[in-house]
């Protein structure tokens, strides 16, 4: 959807997108290990996309990395060390980095204690956000009510879902845990990987 949006409007030339799985130190209950999550992301992009890639940097860190720090990492790798992109004229141009997220993540910007004010200004003000609407989320209403997002609203792009899709990683994990089929919800190589490594299946002592 993000790719189609920018293609249709010709606002930017979309170069690439990166999955950046969190490290094991994120400590969210129910997640598979960072090693497994990186591999599943790699399997997904290998079979479904020619513009998405996986960056394992965040997953390999020995401490939890805030989103603002992860965006700084991409800025450093792509625009500092990588010197941006070479244009047709031969000049180098800085790549614009933005956070691509679902409406549910953006809604968490308003949850007390989850995001620091400094980080929100850094994420939305310096980089910007591309928000994919999720079913049941009022992104435009939230933008209007959230002071920091409204202040940096010119850095926020909202993409409407033309076909409603309520799939989430949380629901996928729950389906597997309950023994329900996830056929057609994930690429087959990822489903095979989950089955092979028995991910998200309750341990016998938990049953």
**Do the domain assignments include residue 9?**
yes
The answer as to whether 34 is a domain residue is: yes
> Residue 116's pLDDT is what?
96
**For position 10, which CATH number holds?**
3.40.50.620
Residue 161 has a pLDDT of 83
Residue 111 lies in a domain: no
- Give the chain's domain count: 1
Residue 1 falls within a domain, yes or no?
yes
Question: What's the CA gap between 200 and 181, in Å, rounded?
Answer: 13
Q: pLDDT tens digits, residue range 24-48?
A: 999 999 999 999 999 999 999 998 9
Residue 154 is assigned to a structural domain of this protein: no
Residue whose tokens read 């691509």: 100
pLDDT at 205 over 60: no
Q: Where are the alpha helices (DSSP H) in the chain?
A: 2-9, 34-48, 57-60, 67-75, 103-107, 117-120, 139-145, 147-151, 169-177, 188-196
Domain carrying residue 172: 1-65+167-200
Residue 200: pLDDT above 90?
A: yes
Give a yes or no: residue 149 inside a domain: no
pLDDT category of residue 92 using cuts at 50, 70 and 90: very high
Domain contains 7 = yes
């Amino acid at each position: 959807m993000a790719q189609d949006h920018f293609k249709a409007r010709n606002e930017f030339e979309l170069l690439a997108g990166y999955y950046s799985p969190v490290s094991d130190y994120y400590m969210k209950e129910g997640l598979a290990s960072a090693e497994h999550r990186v591999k599943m992301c790699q399997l997904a992009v290998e079979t479904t996309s020619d513009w998405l890639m996986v960056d394992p940097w965040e997953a390999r860190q020995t401490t939890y990395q805030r989103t603002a720090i992860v965006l700084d990492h991409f800025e450093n790798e792509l625009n500092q060390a990588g010197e941006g992109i070479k244009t047709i004229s031969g000049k180098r141009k800085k790549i614009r980095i933005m956070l691509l997220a679902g409406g549910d993540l953006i809604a968490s910007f308003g949850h007390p204690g989850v995001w620091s004010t400094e980080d929100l200004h850094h994420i939305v003000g310096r980089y910007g956000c591309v928000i994919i609407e999720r079913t049941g989320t009022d992104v435009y209403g939230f933008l209007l009510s959230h002071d920091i997002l409204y202040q940096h609203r010119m850095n926020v792009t909202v993409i409407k879902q033309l076909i409603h899709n309520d799939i989430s990683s949380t629901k996928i994990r729950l389906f597997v845990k309950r023994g329900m089929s996830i056929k057609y919800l994930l690429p087959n190589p990822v489903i095979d990987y989950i089955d092979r490594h028995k991910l998200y299946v309750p341990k016998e002592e938990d049953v």
